[in-house]
Amino acid sequence: MESRLRALVTGLAVLLLASGCASLEPRDDRPANPPSAPAAKGPLAEWITPRVDASPGKSGFRLLDDGVEAFQWRAFSARKAEDRLSIQYYIWRNDAAGRALLGELLRAADRGVNVSVLLDDIDARGRDDILAAVDQHPNIDIRLFNPFRTRHGMLGKGLEFLTRGVQLNRRMHNKAWVVDGHLAIIGGRNIGDEYFEASPEYNFADLDVAIVGPMAAEVEASFHDFWNSQGAIGIQRVVSRLPDPPRLQEHREALQEWLSTQNDHPLLQKAPAGRLPPGHIDDDEAYVWTAAADFVADPPAKALDTAGFDPERDGGVTPALRARFSGVRNELRIITPYFVPQRRGTRELIEMAERGVRVSVLTNSLASNDVVFTHSGYSRRRPALLQGGVELHELRPTALPNGEERARRWGLGSSQTSLHTKAFVIDGHEAFVGSYNLDPRSAYSNTESGVFLREPALVGQVVDLHERIIQPEFAYRVELDAEDNLIWSDDQGRTWRRDPKAGHMRQILSDLTILFPVESLL
């Protein structure tokens, strides 16, 4: 009976996928579309070129820990685009932030700017109509990375996972917003209200880096590696039916009508045309200028299951982080929303602590974690980590540094908070900010990117961020009592013996997940 059922499911999957298999096979006849030199004209070029000529090799960096500012930096930089926009994201929501930034891309394209958008299909699936319609704009090109062949329905998606699960499990997790090859924004944020502190339900404490100068071109070169890879498929080849030509105008009119009703939306209200954001995009004083930085990114092959590819040998981010972690002497600060160290990582962190290294980890509590199942990969390692001398801090679900002040200032956002920042500080002299979680997916399956910063002013900002959030006002301190039982404490002197404020269902789901051999998939 089991074998018959298995054969039936496999047969259904094959039939379901048959029509899409041929059309989505990678092709080698696409134009290479190599990255261009940074634009020679336009507002950004006119500002940055003399600055770079005066300080060869230096780029400008600005940490964006304020969600509204991070939104504004994207919106206003798009308005300054003269030649091209290169956009790469794991998630792009169809909400206020997503629609508003889509509107910025359309307006840029209307001005003659070439807009290239590469989205991972993990989130894009189900929005084929609007994506294919926008792709009809002569100056917009949309591609999906590692697309599903079934475009609708959970059944089809589930059946496809049965036949292509290994390949579909590998995703493009990079995030990049590049303007004219002169300005780039990378880091932890996807595009959606919750990433910009604008969701009424919950918001992420997240971190980006705005980069101007030569390193922005490095980010764009990485974008083109993915854009030209065999995993990037044009949206017109993915959709089951091409939209009628009028659909672009219909979506444009619907977007304009929606925007006309959003005059009171705080996120959009703070970025009107003609006004500058809190830190001026084209102001030298908005950035820290240094050559002491390195951009690092995984190659597309990591997510394409290329034969012979070893993430620890051939990847970009994992080997770079491992090399730095292995050389830690005094202190390692870790900020990661999804902390799944597994047996090997747990052992290595404990060995650091035993050598006298202060290892301080900030991650989500069970109550603040937006992906409950991943918490099990961390919770099972907590006792060993604490016994080994590793500090553990878990973000409180209602705590966001400066959150109340920001809410008053911008008039938006929820008090429910989840950590989404990915940052590490090595011995107080080098910091990493990017898209990389300390979990098996980032290490072995997903492609990631980030920047290593060695300029003291920038490293100090990441240290301050970590130090600020681990305070008991914002994070629980997790420790062991005299009997080696877990205990959580906060700034009010309150203590808990179970994950605080998580609720029974979250606790049950997390505990049940521990029973299954899925740690390597978390």
Give me the sheet containing 183-187, strands edge to edge. Answer: 232-234, 140-145, 114-120, 84-89, 176-179, 183-187, 208-212, 59-64, 288-290
Q: Which helix (H) or strand (E) holds 160?
A: helix 154-168
N-to-C CA span, the chain: 32
State the amino acid at position 307 in one-letter form: A
Dihedral of CA atoms 133, 137, 140, 144 in degrees, nearest 10, equals 20
- Residue 216, C-beta contacts closer than 8 angstroms, at least 6 positions apart: 38, 59, 178, 179, 181, 182, 183, 184
Coil, strand or helix at 412:
coil
Residue 322 CB contacts under 8 Å (≥ 6 apart), including other chains? 312
Active site residues: 173, 175, 180, 420, 422, 427
To which residue do tokens 């092959």 refer? 301
CA gap 425, 332 in Å, rounded: 6
DSSP reduced 3-state for 68 = helix
SS3 259: helix
